Structure 1
Amino acid sequence: MGLCFSRDNESVAKQRQSKRVAVAGGGVGSNRWTRIRSSKRDENRIHEQALAAAILFQQQMQNDGLASFDRSTSLRYPSGNSKRNQAFHRSSSSRARSLTDPLLQAHQLVKQGIKADNPETNHFVLVHGGGFGAWCWYKSIALLEEDGYKVTAIDLTGSGIHSFDTNSVKSLHQYVKPLIDFFEKLADGEKVILVGHDFGGACISYVMELFHSKVSKAVFTAAAMLVSGQSTLDLFSEKVDSNDLMRQAQAFIYANGNNQPPTAIDFDRAVIKELLFNQSPAKDVALASVSMRSIPFSPVLEKLSLSDTKYGSVRRFYIETQEDNAIPIALQESMINKSPPERLFCLKGADHSPFFSKPQALHKLFVEISNIP
């Protein structure tokens, strides 16, 4: 059954312990290796096609020069102009589902009353977490584009292939500048669905305060969903105090000297798999191990200033990752209780990187959220 949070109805929030939208992306632990062969072939096909497209894109960017990079991994514009559904249809993703179920195609979505070409909600903007880059969304990009959505994946300053020294990032504004540039160039009247992962949750919150009229919905995916006056470090401090694995994984960088504050946070590659990718395929872990960069420290220290009239006016949704070792489920629950979103989704069997561990189940949630009237 679905759980709907209302900013004006506290009684609804109290029901969250017994009611929530659940998506099962297959079993947890070793059960995930028991998928039938056809499903495995489908996953491999998606993986290979998306990875090939990502590699080709990066090659093109290198040939053209980074200066012309508009930080979009998608230039596909769906055709058609459908009206928003007037009645809410409960998604089939609210029941337990296995990845052996077939992946929904565009024509199937239309038959179910789910439109992939809504002029307000057909554009996803994906914002990576700390240490990641636009590359981490390659499976989600492929799946969303296949269903007719427009997708933009952003490389924040000093992340991915953005050519800037992470240690030189001095503020949250500087860190999210590529995302700010995107919104400043967005056409008048156009709105997007803004997705943030991990530290990207704080980043999209910052931008929601600046461009609330251009964000149709915000989706926090295993993300830092802060309240006004709180910094990501405040949240991470809660996490580290009770998370031995996080303490082991963190390595501070002192580019300005050991007698100065840290300039960045890096991860110990020896424990990164267990921390971030404990349910993810080996190929994706290998990709991450050679692609991740350090996290600028100054933005993590910065406290957010969020208002009810701007940030609070944007519809928020949260996707929990139940096998998450980086942001444990208890900490996710704490964030949700402090600032309840409109609706909560639980992604069973997903680690901290659901775009790797449960890409199809995550995709179905993205589609469902895009069509909530």
Structure 2
Amino acid sequence: MPFGVISDSHYHAWTAFAKQNGHINSRLQITIDETRDLAKHLKKAGCDALFHCGDIFHVRGRVAPSVLNPVTDLFAEIVNEIGLKVYLLAGNHDLEFEDSNRIGNSGEALAGTGVHVVSEGFFYEPEHKVLMVPWHAKQQALLNAIAKILADTPAVVTAETTLMIHAPVNEIIPGLPDHGIDPDVLAGFGFKNVFVGHYHNHKEVRPKVYSVGALTHQNWGDVGSKAGYLLVEDDGAVFQFETGAPKFIDMEHLDEEDFDQLEGNYARARIEIEDEKEVAEYRDMLENELDAAAALIMPLRKDKVITRKGATKASLDRLEDSISHFIKDASTIPEAIKDDVNTAVLNTLAEIDHAV
């Protein structure tokens, strides 16, 4: 029977482009609604199970009640009303400690809804032949855990098994230096399919090795990424579907050829201005004439050109790029967490931009 796969939902009370609808954050509500809709789609398509490849929640070490309670209601609905069995894998954002364990996994709070939460060791789901291995902070420890499981497993059984993990894997994010697991290593295990959570971009990085991608765009770090959910057929064929949630669209300039991307999405544009009132005028145009869900104008003032010896154009025009390059080159930040640090900093910067 076919099944669904999602990852990196990052349920959270976001600040950028969000407001309170009663007691619930508007962007959290969008993610919840998209999860419900995809569950209904999967059920109609003949699926009986939904697998989550980690990073259920966003803030490490704590979950606000105004996030936890609506998400709890959501998964209770998916299990008891929509009728899907649900399996949740621990990702790094779900954890209080470095490695996954039951006590430190915020996803365990959802166990009472009837979902199966994978926090320790590994879990094998026999009906769909899915092997789920939770987060390991050290990549080699994760690979060793998988190899240990396979040591006594006949190759013919492995070839019928789908592996699900949460880990950094190389070649998924364009331009990101290789500091994750080599996709050839994952392909070499011989699984029917491998589904990986962690990076917010859907991609078949090797034949039968997939980055699931985030469920929705969540911040400016997701610009250009392919988000959504997967439907996996009995024969292992994989189909990706986008959700209807707003995307983050980044524009260096306002070009008419880009206008058709804006409807219903969050837009950011860098525009040269002479007067501050132009910021509000451009924002009004993007939101009310071009139907962007929300807009952020990054003004480039003609009379305030900043220069710095040795700086590239990208680092001048895009503070995000400067931050990303700094984090990637920083010797004081462990390689295993650089991507998480980069995402967190860019998210904070975006929220500051919006507030200003």
TM-score calculated relative to the size of structure 1: 0.31
Larger radius of gyration: 2
More strand, by proportion: 2
More helix, by proportion: 1
Q: Which has the higher contact order (CA 8 A, sep 6+)?
A: 1
